[in-house]
Chain A
Amino acid sequence: MLLGAHLRRLREAQGVSREDAGWEIRASESKISRMELGRVSFKERDVEDLLTLYGLVDNEERERLLSLARQANTPGWWHRYGDVLPNWFQSYLGLEAAASMIRTYEVQFVPGLLQTADYARAVVLLGHGRARPEEIDRRVDLRMRRQSILDRPDVVQLWAVIDEAVLRRPVGSRAAMRGQIEALIDATGSKSVHLQVLPFRVGGHSAAGGAFSILRFPDQELPDIVYVEQLSSALYLDKRDDVELYVDAMERLCVEADPPERAADTLRKILKDI
């Protein structure tokens, strides 16, 4: 998907239409579209031809993008979880693992990257209550594996705004909920996690629409990507105008929410009420 974003940036900079790009690699306009969205695998030769069409002659830069193509074709660790992973979510895991900053807003659940195993299990059961126990285990495992990215604080930062409702609504047992709040209190001490609670006393606010995430990548030329999850699919937005609407909403949320230094106190108060 990152390579796709590069390809789109280069194509647009050269003013080449999707149709013409498709012609160049003996494919359809929609194939180009799918490549740019990271929905199909990349043939190295196609990528080479496109880079030439887009006037990219710098060898080092070509090699860098071609290596992205090879990487994109190498399955990530999550590939082993294919049975419990819809395709539209696989792209997200790739982006999450490549991100340098993940800003997220949650209204219903604790962000996946901060969930405890017990809490995650309760969430999974809400959606897949009739699944076999082994499948439930695999879904929980998958979520726990994702969290390893936070062990590299120099690499990725997670900046989360969590609605107070997330912390008040019981998910799973009382013990699971307490364990989750305690884990969040621990997380506030982490160098890579920045947590803001959006308290009830803040009235209607800017992101009334619901949860979303904005991912930023270490490569400055890549656009930020907005991820909005739906029941059976997800939106990935990377057009500047679209992204900016979400960034604007996120900035408002961050200004409206309690500052990060107050998160631990708020969580401790909530823990007392459970």
Chain B
Amino acid sequence: MAEDAEANGLDQDRTQIDTTVPQSARIYDYWLGGKDNFAPDRAVAEALAAQIPTIRTMVRSQRVFLVRAVDYLVRKAGIRQFLDIGTGIPSLDNVHEVAQRIAPECRILYVDNDPIVLAHARALMTSTEEGRTAFILSDLRQPQAILDNPVLRETLDLDRPVALFLVGVLHHLHDSDDPRGLIATLLQALPSGSYFALTQPTADFDASAMGGMAATAEQSGIPYVPRGRAEVEEFLSGLTVVEPGLVPIPAWNPLDLDYPGSAEVDRDPYSVYGWAAVARKP
């Protein structure tokens, strides 16, 4: 048993919980109205909200995008496998819930670097009988470790298309982490016909608000890098971006999916300072 635990990275990560240090997953949980957060997380979340008062709407729209993208990929692209990196604390409508509601046989591997997220996900994000959900504690900055984890092969068949989700996570990577290289490494392991869904906060719509946001986050020890349209396009290079293209997060709705919480931003997608896209690997 001890060997399994080590293989899953559990034992060496036991010491990593520190609720006195703000953590991005718990900050998002707070903005989404959850209660799995601690005083230091809330303090940072409030400081960030002072920079961008509409932050809760932005975070919600990121979740709405996730739901719409999963829905689209299962319904229209025949995708049945998902690799979701940067899962966060389970919220309403996680990838497997949306996917398995449409196709119960869907298989989802969740990856997060926060042990609390892992504990919650393992306990609460249970799969249908027909499908599978699995979880690994790993960091997007070590894509090869994710790919080499035996749980990945147990969960996903890499001979069949997989949808890679990097939603609400790329901005926590500094350029020095080489996000382009990480994305390339991950996509290289996936077969032709796979998909890639991303969101990326940007300073393109309101440079000063987003600048304040990034500075405040970095001061609190949370990496936060807004990126311009051209940089996001680079993340998508070599892929075929599906309609409606690279658009403000709330504007990505090819199936006109009604989803609660989106009406307020549907009127003005640029009120959410982030880009979203779904692309296909040729």
Number of interface residues of B (CB under 8 A): 24
Task: Collect the chain A residues with CB atoms within 8 Å of residue B8's CB.
Answer: 259
Question: With A255-B17, A255-B116, A258-B5 in contact, do A248 and B123 touch (Cβ < 8 Å)?
Answer: no
Task: Collect the chain A residues with CB atoms within 8 Å of residue B118's CB.
Answer: 255
Question: With A194-B124, A255-B119 in contact, do A248 and B35 touch (Cβ < 8 Å)?
Answer: no
Number of A-B contacts (CB under 8 A): 57
Q: Is residue B2 within 8 Å, beta carbon to beta carbon, of the partner chain?
A: yes
Task: Report B201-228 CB contacts with A as 1/0, cut-off 8 Å.
Answer: 0000000000000000000000000000
In the bound complex, CA of A191 to CA of B13 (Å): 28
Number of interface residues of A (CB under 8 A): 28
Name the CB-closest residue of B to A240: B39
Closest chain B CB from A198 CB (angstroms): 12
Task: Report B89-131 CB contacts with A as 1/0, cut-off 8 Å.
Answer: 0000000000000000000000000011011101110100000
Task: Report B147-181 CB contacts with A as 1/0, cut-off 8 Å.
Answer: 00000000000000000000000000000000000
Question: With A224-B35, A255-B116, A256-B14 in contact, do A159 and B2 touch (Cβ < 8 Å)?
Answer: no
Task: Collect the chain A residues with CB atoms within 8 Å of residue B1's CB.
Answer: 199, 201, 258, 262, 266
Task: Collect the chain A residues with CB atoms within 8 Å of residue B123's CB.
Answer: 159, 194, 196, 254, 259-260
The residues in B between 1 and 57 inclusive whose CB is less than 8 angstroms from any CB of A are: 1-2, 4-5, 8, 10, 13-14, 17, 19, 33, 35-36, 38-39
In the bound complex, CA of A159 to CA of B4 (Å): 22
Task: Report B49-82 CB contacts with A as 1/0, cut-off 8 Å.
Answer: 0000000000000000000000000000000000
Name the CB-closest residue of B to A265: B1
In the bound complex, CA of A252 to CA of B118 (Å): 12
Closest chain B CB from A200 CB (angstroms): 11
Q: Is the CB of B122 within 8 A of A261?
A: yes
The residues in A between 233 and 255 inclusive whose CB is less than 8 angstroms from any CB of B are: 240-241, 244, 247-248, 251-252, 254-255
Closest chain A CB from B153 CB (angstroms): 17
Task: Report A187-204 CB contacts with B as 1/0, cut-off 8 Å.
Answer: 000010010100101100
In the bound complex, CA of A255 to CA of B8 (Å): 12
Q: Is the CB of A157 within 8 A of B14?
A: no
Task: Collect the chain A residues with CB atoms within 8 Å of residue B13's CB.
Answer: 255
Task: Collect the chain A residues with CB atoms within 8 Å of residue B4's CB.
Answer: 262
Other A-B contacts than A244-B38, A258-B5, 14 sampled, CB-CB below 8 A, are A199-B1, A241-B39, A244-B19, A251-B17, A255-B13, A255-B14, A255-B119, A259-B8, A259-B10, A259-B122, A259-B123, A261-B122, A262-B1, A266-B1
What 7 pairs across the A-B complex have the smallest Cβ distances? Answer: A254-B119, A194-B123, A255-B115, A259-B122, A248-B19, A255-B119, A251-B116
Residues of B within 8 A of A (CB): 1-2, 4-5, 8, 10, 13-14, 17, 19, 33, 35-36, 38-39, 115-116, 118-120, 122-124, 126
